[in-house]
Each structure stands twice: as C-alpha cells, then as structure tokens.
Amino acid sequence: MKKWLSLIVIGSLLLFSSTAMASGDKGKHEPKDHGKNVKECVPPGLLKALDKVKNEKARAAIKANIEKHQKKCKEDKDEENQGLSDAQRVSGDKATLQIRYADGNRADWVTSAIQLPVKGNNGSAITWSSNKPNVISNNGLTVNRSQSADETVVMTANLRYNQATASKTFTLIVKAVPATMTDAQKAAADLAGLQIQFNGTDTADRVTQPLKALPARGNNGSTITWFSGAPTIISNDGKTVNRPASGSGDAIVIMTAYAVNNTASATKTFQLTIKQQLTDAQKVASDKAALDIDFGGSDTISRVTRPLDQLPTAGANGSGILWSSSAPDILSADGKTIHRPAVTAGDVTIALTAVITSNGVSDLKVFYLTVKREFTSVEKVAADKADLNITFADKDSAGSVTKPIGLTGIGYYGSTIVWYSSNPSVISDNGTVVNRPAHGKGDITVTMMGLISNNGAGDIKTFTLTVKQLP
C-alpha cells in the first residue's frame, strides 16, 4: 500500500509540474433533443396505409414515400447535429441508447441474442462489455441459458466521441430453460427469437447482397433448416443473391425456417424484398453516397495525424474508385504516407478527391482533411493518454478478468508508458501474471495506473479492473 500511495504522489507531482498542461472543459452541457425519431418523421397515414394495402405496386409506392420522409428527417437531423459539442454528442447518444431484443424478449426476459448498437445517432462510437460473458457475450450475439436458474447480467456501454466519453449500464435477466418444456415448446421458443441478419445497410425491405449466416440451431437445441421460396433469386442458405435485372422490378421472396426438436416441429417465415439491379448512374450515385474515409486510430476528418486506413477502390455496387490528393507531399493519394507540418508551422487542409465510375458514368466526391502540425510534448502525452487502453484475453473484460492483460509500453505519438498495479499480488505491474482469488473469497478490484511521459511532460490514466474468483 505504501508503494501505491508513493506512486500516486509521484504521479501527482508529474502532473502538476508541467506548466503547459491543458485543463478540461468544466462547463456542463444539458443534452438537447436533436432531431426526431425516424418514425415520427413519417405521416401516420402512410404507416397505416402500408399495413392495409395489399397491392404490391401500391405498397412499393408507399414505401418509396416513407423512405423519402425518412431520408429528409435524417438530413435535418444531421444538419442539427453539426452544432453539437463532443460532450453534447456523447450525452445525447447516452440518453437515447437502448438495447434491442428479439420478439417476445425484454430486459427482464432474455432468451436469445440481443442487438447492441455500435454507433450513436450523433456519431459516438459505442463498445460493449458483459460482466458475465459466459452467459451473454460482449457483442450480445451469444446467449447461454442455464438449466437451473435465471442469470442477472450487466451490459456496459462505453461511448466515445473524440475525447468525450460516457458509460451506461443495462441490467438484464437471462431466463433459465424451463425443465418442463416439451419438444414443441422448445421448437416454438427457438423460432420466437429467430431473426435474419443482413450485411451492410440491407434490411428485409431492401436486400442487395448475400445474407449473414442463417442460424442452424436454436438455444433450446432445435435444428433449423432454411428454405427459399425462389432459390434462383436467393439460395436456401442465403449466401447467393441474384438481383432482378434493371427495369424488371424488385422481387418478393419468402424465406422459411423449419425448426425440429426430436419429434416436434414448427415453422417461421420472413418476407424479403430483393432489389432490382441499378443502372450505372444509380450505382455511381449509391456508391458516392456510401463512400467515406476510415481514419487511423482516433483521428477524424478535422484531426489527421497518422496514415489513413485503406481507401476503398470499389463501391458496394461495383463502381471503380480512384483517389487523388491536392497535396501529395503531405498526404499521398492512397493515404498511406503522411508528412505532417513542423511543430512551429500551422495545420494544413488538403482535398482528397474520389472519382467514382461505372461504365462511363462518373461523379466526384471531395473530402477536406485537416492534417495537424507535429505535436508538442504536452500534446503527445494528451493524445497517447486518449488512445491508451488495456487489452483483454478472449471473453475477458474490465469487469471480468481471469487471464493476463496486455499493457503497451509506448504510445503511438512516442510517449513512454510505465504501469503500476495497486495490488501486484493479484495483477503484476506488467499485467503478465494474474492470481485469481480462491472460490468463496470473492472478486478483487485492482487499479492499474499508467504513467505517461514525453520529454518532461506527463499525465496519468487509471483503469479499474475486477479479477474474478476461481469457480
């Protein structure tokens, strides 16, 4: 304990001896209601009409009108969000964040996979962790139900937008498998939570590419077999999708899931709309709308400090994409080489231009990126602190440590990072040794402290970990 207290004192001296440390924003921002829920943007009459109208051409016209309203709502919402601070974005996303459940499920009644958003409406990146990953996995896609008793699981969402962060927890109850369930009940239960997962931005009403792997087994042991109502358009396993030719109209296909549990069986159907192929102009327009840049690390379009992740050379609809840079000596056309201005110079704005082409039809999309000048020592420490995280073994998390942890010794921007444990007999300073408490002794909380330094500038970042007792 004396060692830990002395380290905190040393860290504090390191913190406050730097004359150039920036203070955080102490202002408080009240979250605002930016934009409406998409459903609120659609006139109720259209939704009612969609429920009642059976004629497919009429339904297609109604759906097109709904999509138009949704698109306008999203554009209005994006425009409103441009004025938000990072903290307001995170706060707003936290306030609206919810877990989505399978049909018939809710927070206190979970029997199958849950859907965890990875991005907020205001742009916050969201990562999730489970305090019982053996019951609900960190991504929510695996749910293991007990045969004896219900399990309470806490799912934690960590939200980040640039350096603004927040967290939100959800308490879920995973229901035990009833011992008295009949085979028919098991088959029905497995179908109740069954959903089709789509790739990209596809939905049931807009299928343009193969489906994600269709479940072949339910949580209650049922074997699930799939059948397509039009296998020449979409195969039984969903891995092959042949879209109708341009001008021939969309195709409606019924996918049927057939669940068998011993001698009992049940079926569930899903209606999918396979979109017709696009014209070249439509392909270019769609690929342009979807085109974005994937930045390295914590970079954004207004803060480029490292090479870009790979720039796409083809769109989802087959368009070819060629890139050019207005200042290739600063950022190359492929984004792989960057030469930042000197620390005494100013930031530089460059234009990355994408030429999107399909069979002679072309369009341009320009991204204006701000390449930051080289950082001072204080700025390097701040950037490395923002990026600093602990890596965990498979199925482990901050709330459930059972194996050694990964601790980096140097930041991307060159800062040196030295680690100390508040309880080195449980987790060693370097994280390579984890001694779990004996069964019945209870979990132990350990604080890991990273001292970040760069040419006299310094800061501290701490992480609270829970080491689980042995089973």
Q: What is the pLDDT of residue 382?
A: 95
Residue 54 token pair: 């059976």
Question: What is the third-level CATH fold of 378-467?
Answer: Immunoglobulin-like (2.60.40)
* Adjacent-strand bridge partners of 234: 241
User: What does the mean pLDDT of the chain come to?
Assistant: 86
Query: Can you tell me the distance from the alpha carbon of 83 to that of 32, in angstroms, rounded to the nearest whole number?
Result: 11
What was the pLDDT predicted at 103?
Answer: 78
pLDDT of 45 over the 70 cut: no
pLDDT (tens digit, 9 = 90+) per residue, 277-336? 999 999 999 999 999 999 998 899 999 999 998 899 999 888 999 999 999 999 999 999
Q: What is the per-residue pLDDT for 82? A: 61
Give the pLDDT of residue 246: 87
CATH of 183-274, one of 2.60.60, 1.10.10, 2.40.160, 2.60.40: 2.60.40
Instruction: State the pLDDT at residue 324.
Output: 97
Residue 14 has pLDDT above 50, yes or no: no
What pLDDT, in 10s, does the model give residues 128-154? 999 999 999 999 888 899 877 899 999
Most confidently modeled range among 67-81, 98-112, 415-429: 415-429
Of the candidates 214, 168, 179, which has an alpha carbon nearest to the alpha carbon of residue 195? 214
Q: Where are the domains of the chain?
A: 35-83, 183-274, 280-374, 378-467
Pick 10 or 282 by higher pLDDT: 282
Whether this prediction's pTM lies above 0.75 is answered by: no
| Pairwise CA distance, residues 419 & 449, whole Å | 6
Give the helix/strand (H/E) hosting 312: none
Q: Where are the beta strands (DSSP E) in 344-389?
A: 348-358, 361-371
Mean pLDDT across 227-256: 95
280-374 and 183-274 share a CATH fold:
yes
* Residue 72 predicted with pLDDT over 70: no
H or E stretch at 201:
none
Q: Candidates 1.50.10, 2.30.40, 2.60.40, 2.40.50; correct CATH number of 280-374?
A: 2.60.40
Contact between 283 and 358 under an 8 Å Cβ cutoff? The reply is: yes
Residue 80 pLDDT > 80, yes or no?
no
The percentage of residues in the chain with a pLDDT greater than 90, rounded to a whole number, is: 67
Lowest-pLDDT range, 42-56, 142-156, 207-221, 418-432? Answer: 42-56
- pLDDT (mean) for 26-37: 41
> Average pLDDT in the 102-121 region?
88
> How far does Cα 299 stand from its chain's mean position?
16
- pLDDT-derived band at 15 (thresholds 50, 70, 90) equals very low
Give the count of beta carbons closer than 10 Å to the beta carbon of residue 264.
Answer: 15
pLDDT above 50: residue 437: yes
Q: How far apart are CA 305 and CA 386, in angstroms?
A: 14
Q: What are phi and psi of 254, to 5 degrees?
A: -100, 120
Is pLDDT of 93 > 80? Answer: yes
For the stretch 381-414, pLDDT in tens is 999 999 999 999 988 999 999 999 999 999 999 9
What are the residues facing 357 on neighbouring strands? 320, 362
How far apart are alpha carbons 30 and 32 in whole angstroms? 6
Percent of residues, the chain, with pLDDT higher than 70: 84
**pLDDT recorded at residue 46:** 55
Four-point Cα dihedral 225, 229, 231, 233, nearest 10: -130
pLDDT of residue 78: 58
Q: DSSP character for 278? A: P
What CA–CA distances, in Å, run from 109 to 35, 155, 169, 173, 251? 31, 14, 17, 6, 36
DSSP state for residue 94 in the 8-state scheme: H
Q: What is the pLDDT of residues 196-232, one digit of tens each?
A: 999 988 999 999 999 999 999 998 889 999 999 999 9
Q: What is the pLDDT of residue 55?
A: 65
- The answer to whether residue 425 scores a pLDDT higher than 80 is yes
Is residue 37 scored above 60 in pLDDT?
no
**Residue 28 pLDDT class (50, 70, 90 cuts):** very low
Query: Can you give the pLDDT at residue 32?
Result: 41
